[in-house]
Structure 1
């Protein structure tokens, strides 16, 4: 039996691929500043930032979804709202498919939901540590500092590339699996995001029972360049929808 939606839900912030909890701290702080949630929590997925991947676990979307589920249970949260940036949005949707009723609502930003072998191979090709180190040394240094306690950034890139290729061969979110996600979902796409299209988000929204896709003008993909007031507004809108019982 699904627990009723609390009048004041908690919010969990989830980072994207190559991201960390520290990277998402400004997002969590922007949501906390609204003072309208029971709590705002910033989860770091295993294999990222300062969180090692436990021995015996695969670096996979399913592992991340289970980590989110365990976090919800450990914090005794009742149907929290999840703001998932990029990969974080995929993780949240996957968990709600695997364990319906765990999440009360989901807001995604810049989340790629349409994966094919070609798309995955193109994404994986951009995760070459030698190329990044040679062409964008400042970014390489940032990644090295961000993930030094989780096995290192080179290992993270290798793991992520492999995971994306597997996702391209066998997508976990399909028309059928999305159809089983019954919580409210807002799929947000930045107008200057060159990695995700509104068309793909709209198609995904059509498969979700309670979803809409929206274009946010002038918003790029990197979370560091996103207007956090826009993110806070969108999460607030979805929360209002939940508490109103829409």
Structure 2
């Protein structure tokens, strides 16, 4: 894509692993309330929430990146800002690598970019439906309600675990490939996030041409526990950067 940046940007909001469009609706509504964007679009990835995965389609990051690209195209958005929470940030960065110029800028929160077999195995081990049902029944019930239209929460967990293991064996965003993402990127890490470290974000930012990594004090990983106004401020900061041409 070579389309120039719109003077009034749009924003796309993308959920994380085990998430859904509905889960991110408070962020969408808060951004819309600012009345400073051409459009604010929440995207639900296939295989999550109430969006089933098409037959013979892989449950993986490439599928999700292409789904994000299709959503941006179908909505007629030009180089939007993407706020990607956790896995959503990885998806946005991967799309911009695969289709440069699709996205105007990316804000990530709690996104793990450094994957190894050991890290992936540890993350996947926490996604056992039987263990969650036995030890965290309230969480299991919430996941069941959240993913009722995507084949069931157990399937979502099983597929996510398999995807993470594959990502550990063959990362799709290496340090070298991050260099192909030329849009502005803000990598945000919560001070109470035990899933990703600021050091990892700083390391990734060093390989991105136009990026910075920032610590958000006292912010945990779960998006439900993050102040939506804080997210709005970070998105606004990047949008202002795009408008000013910095």
Same fold (TM over 0.5): yes
Question: Distance between the aligned counterparts of 1:34 and 1:215, measured in 2?
Answer: 24
Q: Which residue of 1 aligns with 2:101?
A: 101
1:80 has 2:80 as partner? yes
Question: Distance between the aligned counterparts of 1:197 and 1:175, measured in 2?
Answer: 16
Aligned alpha-carbon RMSD (Å):
0.5
Q: Which residue of 2 aligns with 1:6?
A: 6
1:32-181 alignment runs, 5 A limit: 32-181=32-181
Question: Distance between the aligned counterparts of 1:34 and 1:196, measured in 2?
Answer: 29
Per-residue deviation, 1:102 = 0.2
Deviations 1:184-211 (A, max 9, x none): 0000000000000000000000000000
Deviations 1:6-46 (A, max 9, x none): 01111000000000000000011111111110010000000
Q: Which residue of 2 aligns with 1:193?
A: 193
Per-residue deviation, 1:135 = 0.7
Question: Distance between the aligned counterparts of 1:196 and 1:106, measured in 2?
Answer: 18
Question: Distance between the aligned counterparts of 2:86 and 2:55, measured in 1?
Answer: 26
Aligned to 2:34, what secondary structure does the other structure show?
coil
Aligned to 1:4, what secondary structure does the other structure show?
coil
Deviations 1:37-57 (A, max 9, x none): 001000000000000001111
Question: Distance between the aligned counterparts of 2:70 and 2:29, measured in 1?
Answer: 23
Aligned to 2:23, what secondary structure does the other structure show?
coil
Question: Distance between the aligned counterparts of 1:166 and 1:44, measured in 2?
Answer: 22
